[in-house]
């Protein structure tokens, strides 16, 4: 057996107690947040509406949104939401369910990988402790929770990457247990075939989730891991032909059908587009290569500076990031002292370091948004968990040093930080003015539209006056911060390290629940469910044929209207960004209106519902043509109607 191969430990069993705690945290945070608030405008409702239209059209190859072809993303995320809506009905919670289930799968995948990597350094009677802490960190960290509040694919990428890394290590184990020179009749160890085929299937799911990046990360990990461990000679034994066949069987059909159903057509000139192009140009080149280079057409997304991108990835794993500096330092020492390191230590250090650098390094060189580093978060959670597991194991080598490091970072980092946050949140909870009943949150916010291309851009709109709407969540955060910092530190200092980590997780669960309540109160700014329901209620109370809903602006400013009304909407001055390219196809409906067309429609007998952010200006403009009535207002948005 190669000295790089970890010894197989028979005590690597899953603990029902650990799994029960993880499932409880998942139920509270993921299932508990499934039903509120409503869908958010922008990608959340756009991706889910695409799934609804797939069900409606019975077309699971070509994605459509508002009747227009949409080429940005591969279909797996749409298929999942369509599947659960088919089972449970067209509800927002049903569409969100696949993401919640993916989080549970991710927790279990991280748990299993953590057992493999850290069983030898965990307490002898709790060999799952490293996996348990890693999964607990994934369940209660800021990033994985925050970026499952809306329907985007990145948490699935974290799942696929976790599985790919684990399957790679299993396959290499089996290859080293079955030397090529060994006679077939003497090979009693499990074959590497099944983990290799499973790796190919996971990679296909990865590609169907977010495109070609699903090839880059897993293949890059395998090649770099083999190169750094001087095992490239094993590459031909990784069942490349059968693995490729599995990958193509799963991933190729949709790509081929998508290209065939949307062939190249002549495109308008003077817009930066090629003379002819179809699905293949937009999806394979524009959405991948051009986006990587920052030259995608249209350029409808923000760009996070590199230092902020790296800093945010530390924030996403908070509060467990407090233990990362010591954990990373330990892994670097192991890599530098490779000859002296035990096989399992070197495997853990190399795989987690390589995994993190591969993901974060790639997006450092390409276009990046705040959440693009999520596929690296499981590796960071595993690093922190390894340190905490070693600190629990009093009889293991290095346990004293791990406990001292965890205690120091708790005292000098977590305690001051959480105390400061508790003071700030407590101050606003006690002193923020009480808004008058029925106050629209939009009237209390600042406006920073230049930041809205970023996923968290609206947070910068908060003002002191708006804090009065969040008194309860702020008070809850203030209390929970004491548990995260001082509470867990006191337990850690008394030697109750497991209790300290459980306290930290429980207090962080309270923080995330408060964040969810804050999101629900902020919802009128981020979504338009109540306005859509107001339109639907009016239509049900007084049915009229040929009602028309018009959105004043681009689709992302009010995309929840389509899902909650179930109707196609028209866009006023909205022929930009997401629907722009698909609108060139002959089957694109006439949904784009200009100012003159709006005035004609307003003057017609047809009932018009106009969704706008500028009701006063629209009232002045449309009043000469017909009466203008306000149907509903929320979050700085208003529904005007001419009847």
DSSP-assigned states of every residue in 369-426: -TTTTGGGHHHHHHHHHHHHHHHH-TTSTTHHHHHHHHHHHIIIIIHHHHHHHHHHHH
How many C-beta neighbours within 10 Å does residue 589 have? 12
Q: Is residue 265 domain-resident?
A: yes
SS3 69: strand
Exposed/middle/buried for residue 464 (C-beta within 10 Å: 0-12, 13-18, 19+):
exposed
In terms of domains, do 262 and 368 share one?
Answer: yes
What residue spans of 119-239 are helical by DSSP H?
A: 129-140, 142-146, 154-177, 193-210, 213-228
Contact 374, 316 (CB under 8 A): yes
In terms of domains, do 378 and 497 share one?
Answer: no
Amino acid 5: pLDDT: 45
Quick one: which of 381, 316, 512, 357 has its CA closest to 106?
A: 381
Q: Is residue 9 domain-resident?
A: no
Amino acid 187: pLDDT: 53
Tokens of 23: 């499932």
In terms of domains, do 168 and 273 share one?
Answer: yes
Q: Is residue 3 domain-resident?
A: no
Of the residues 507, 526, 545, the one at which a domain ends:
526
> CA 324, CA 192: separation in Å to the nearest integer?
33
Q: Is residue 262 domain-resident?
A: yes
In terms of domains, do 331 and 306 share one?
Answer: yes
> CA 149, CA 516: separation in Å to the nearest integer?
8
Amino acid 7: pLDDT: 41
Sole residue written with tokens 């196809």: 585
In terms of domains, do 200 and 322 share one?
Answer: yes
Amino acid 180: pLDDT: 64
Q: Is residue 4 domain-resident?
A: no
Sole residue written with tokens 């469910």: 529
Of the residues 348, 367, 397, the one at which a domain ends:
397
Amino acid 300: pLDDT: 66
In terms of domains, do 308 and 173 share one?
Answer: yes
Tokens of 319: 């509060």
Amino acid 301: pLDDT: 67
In terms of domains, do 259 and 155 share one?
Answer: yes
Secondary structure of 320-358 as H, E, C letters: HHHHHHHHHHHHHHHHHCHHHCCHHHHHHHHHHHHHHHH
In terms of domains, do 351 and 471 share one?
Answer: no
The predicted-structure confidence for 305-318, as pLDDT tens digits, reads as follows 899 999 999 999 99
> CA 417, CA 275: separation in Å to the nearest integer?
56
> CA 611, CA 553: separation in Å to the nearest integer?
9
Of the residues 526, 561, 586, the one at which a domain ends:
526
> CA 217, CA 213: separation in Å to the nearest integer?
6
Q: Is residue 2 domain-resident?
A: no
How many C-beta neighbours within 10 Å does residue 546 have? 9
The predicted-structure confidence for 186-209, as pLDDT tens digits, reads as follows 555 678 899 999 999 999 999 999
In terms of domains, do 534 and 522 share one?
Answer: no
In terms of domains, do 121 and 170 share one?
Answer: yes
In terms of domains, do 471 and 363 share one?
Answer: no
Strand 592-593: give its sheet, edge to edge: 592-593, 570-572, 548-552, 608-612, 637-641, 629-634
Exposed/middle/buried for residue 290 (C-beta within 10 Å: 0-12, 13-18, 19+):
middle
Q: Is residue 416 domain-resident?
A: yes
Q: Is residue 97 domain-resident?
A: yes
The pTM (predicted TM-score) of the whole model is 0.93
Instruction: Please tell me the total count of domains within the chain.
Output: 3
Q: Which domain holds residue 279?
A: 16-180+187-397
> CA 489, CA 487: separation in Å to the nearest integer?
5
Which regions in the chain score pLDDT beneath 50?
1-11, 185
Which are the contacts of 397, defined by CB distance < 8 A and separation ≥ 6? none
Amino acid 213: pLDDT: 92
In terms of domains, do 276 and 322 share one?
Answer: yes
SS3 544: coil
């Amino acid at each position: 057996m190669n000295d790089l191969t970890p010894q197989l430990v028979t005590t690597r069993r899953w603990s029902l107690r650990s799994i029960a705690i993880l499932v409880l945290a998942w139920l509270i945070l993921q299932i508990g947040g499934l039903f509120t608030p409503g869908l958010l405008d922008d990608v959340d409702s756009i991706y889910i509406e695409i799934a609804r239209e797939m069900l409606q059209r019975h077309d699971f190859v070509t994605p459509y949104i508002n009747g227009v072809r949409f080429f940005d993303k591969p279909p797996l995320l749409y298929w999942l939401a369509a599947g659960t809506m088919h089972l449970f009905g067209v509800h927002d919670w049903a569409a969100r369910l696949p993401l919640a289930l993916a989080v549970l799968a991710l927790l279990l995948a991280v748990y299993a990988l953590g057992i493999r990597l850290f069983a030898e350094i965990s307490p002898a009677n709790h060999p799952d402790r490293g996996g348990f802490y890693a999964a607990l960190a994934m369940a209660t960290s800021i990033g994985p929770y925050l970026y499952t509040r809306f329907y985007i694919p990145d948490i699935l990428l974290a799942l696929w990457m976790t599985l790919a890394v684990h399957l790679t290590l299993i396959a290499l184990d089996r290859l080293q247990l079955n030397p090529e020179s060994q006679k077939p009749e003497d090979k009693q160890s499990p074959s590497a075939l099944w983990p290799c085929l499973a790796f190919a299937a996971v990679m296909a799911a990865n590609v169907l989730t977010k495109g070609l990046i699903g090839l880059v990360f897993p293949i890059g990990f395998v090649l770099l891991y083999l190169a750094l461990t001087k095992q490239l000679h094993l590459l031909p034994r990784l069942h490349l032909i059968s693995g490729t066949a599995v990958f193509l069987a799963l991933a190729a059909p949709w790509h081929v059908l998508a290209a065939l159903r949307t062939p190249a057509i002549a495109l308008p000139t003077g817009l930066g587009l090629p003379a002819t192009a179809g699905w293949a140009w937009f999806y394979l080149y524009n959405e991948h290569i051009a986006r990587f280079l920052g030259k995608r057409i249209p350029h409808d997304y923000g760009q996070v500076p590199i230092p902020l991108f790296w800093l945010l990835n530390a924030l996403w794993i908070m509060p467990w990031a407090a233990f990362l500096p010591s954990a990373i330092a330990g892994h670097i020492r192991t890599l530098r002292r490779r000859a002296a390191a035990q096989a399992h230590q070197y495997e853990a250090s190399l795989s987690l370091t390589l995994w993190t650098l591969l993901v974060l390094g790639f997006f450092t060189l390409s276009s990046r948004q705040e959440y693009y580093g999520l596929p690296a978060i499981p590796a960071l959670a595993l690093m922190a968990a390894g340190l905490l597991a070693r600190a629990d194991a009093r009889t293991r080598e290095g346990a004293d040093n791990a406990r001292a490091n965890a205690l120091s970072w708790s005292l000098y980092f977590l305690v001051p930080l959480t105390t400061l946050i508790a003071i700030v949140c407590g101050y606003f909870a006690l002193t923020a003015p009480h808004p008058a009943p029925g106050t629209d949150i939009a009237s209390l916010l600042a406006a920073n539209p230049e930041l809205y291309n970023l996923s968290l851009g609206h947070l910068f709109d908060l003002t002191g006056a708006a804090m009065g709407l969040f008194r309860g969540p702020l008070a809850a955060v203030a209390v929970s911060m004491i548990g995260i910092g001082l509470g867990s530190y006191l337990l850690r200092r008394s030697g109750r390290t497991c209790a300290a980590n459980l306290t930290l997780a429980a207090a962080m669960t309270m923080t995330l629940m408060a964040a969810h309540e804050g999101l629900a109160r902020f919802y009128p700014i981020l979504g338009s469910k109540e306005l859509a329901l107001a339109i639907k209620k009016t239509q049900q109370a007084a049915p009229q044929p040929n009602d028309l809903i018009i959105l004043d602006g681009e689709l992302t400013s009010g995309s929840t209207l389509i899902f909650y009304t179930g109707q196609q909407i028209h866009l006023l001055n909205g022929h930009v960004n997401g629907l722009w390219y698909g609108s060139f196809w002959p089957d694109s409906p006439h949904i784009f209106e200009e100012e003159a067309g709006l005035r004609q429609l307003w003057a017609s007998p047809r009932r018009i519902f106009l969704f706008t952010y500028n009701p006063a200006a629209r009232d002045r403009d449309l009043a000469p043509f017909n009466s203008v009535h306000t149907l509903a207002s929320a979050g700085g948005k208003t529904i005007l109607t001419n009847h």
